Amino acid sequence: MEHDLVIFDNSGVLADSETLGNQVLAGLLTRLVVPTTFDEAVEHYLGKTLTDVTQEVRRRTGAVVPEGFVESFHTELFDVFEERLAAVEGVERVLDGLDALGVAHCVASNDTADRLALSLRRTGLLDRMAGRVFSSDMVERPKPAPDLFLHAAAQFGAAPEACLVIEDSPRGVAAARAAGMTVYGFASVTPRERLADAHRVFGAMDELADLLPELFPAPLVEVSR
């Protein structure tokens, strides 16, 4: 089936933020809770909400995350974003390609509305995606539940099976699958094997940009004689 809508995750897909976010998380957990490396943060917490992270930390280590941890994380993360956040290399080429082909696209992220707005502003994508931004605040259940993707599709009147999701986390892949959508896994920070449930895995945005003519072929034009 042809795709009518492309849904992008934000962190790690549009914004090159997963490395920064997991560096901040690992550092804060190490200082306040339990020693945690960057690789451990990626393996165990990537793509999860902070509520899920605190529960997973306790389940894995027995350590209790102190009150105020979430606020401290956001404060540190926002400071780092203001200084260092950039768009994922090649993503503007993908967006330009979708615009040229007339393909509808949006962003649906487990990020809160505030974090998502900051991220899109710092990457220069806020105006470009205006009116097409969906955050976890808008639904009852975040990813890996399908709610957010289904909500985004409904705003465009797109059937789930006509949506292509671009995700970089196992939770996002699971959410897209649960929604009945096609999902491509972006293996930049996340190891490819953790995205094995995606319909296709790619490692660079330029690779996705090169696939666009194949995914969205131009309609045949009849020439009158």
Domain positions in the chain are 5-16+86-215, 18-84
pLDDT lower than 70: segments of the chain: 1, 218-225
What is the SS3 assignment for 105?
Answer: strand
Q: 135 vs 107, 110, 142, 143, CA distance in Å?
A: 8, 6, 9, 11
What is the SS3 assignment for 110?
Answer: coil
Q: Are 28 and 69 in contact (CB under 8 A)?
A: yes
Burial code (b: 16+ CB inside 10 Å, e: under 16) for 136-169 equals: beebeebbbbbbbbbebbeebebebebbbbbbbb
Residue 176 neighbours by CB under 8 Å, 6+ apart: 7, 146, 149, 165, 167, 182, 183
Residue 218: predicted pLDDT: 65
What is the SS3 assignment for 122?
Answer: helix
Strands (DSSP E) contained in 63-213 are 104-109, 133-135, 163-167, 182-186, 200-202
What is the SS3 assignment for 34?
Answer: coil
Could you give the CA distance from residue 206 to residue 195 in angstroms, rounded to a whole number? 19
For residues 20, 25, 31, 34, the Cα torsion angle rounded to the nearest 10 degrees is -140
Instruction: Kindly report the CATH class assigned to 18-84.
Output: mainly alpha
Residue 225: predicted pLDDT: 40
| CATH code of the domain occupying 5-16+86-215 | 3.40.50.1000
Q: Is 66 exposed, middle or buried (0-12, 13-18, 19+ CB in 10 A)?
A: exposed
Burial code (b: 16+ CB inside 10 Å, e: under 16) for 75-98 equals: ebbbeebeeebebbeebbebbebb
Report residue 66 as tokens. 């102190």
Residue 189: predicted pLDDT: 86
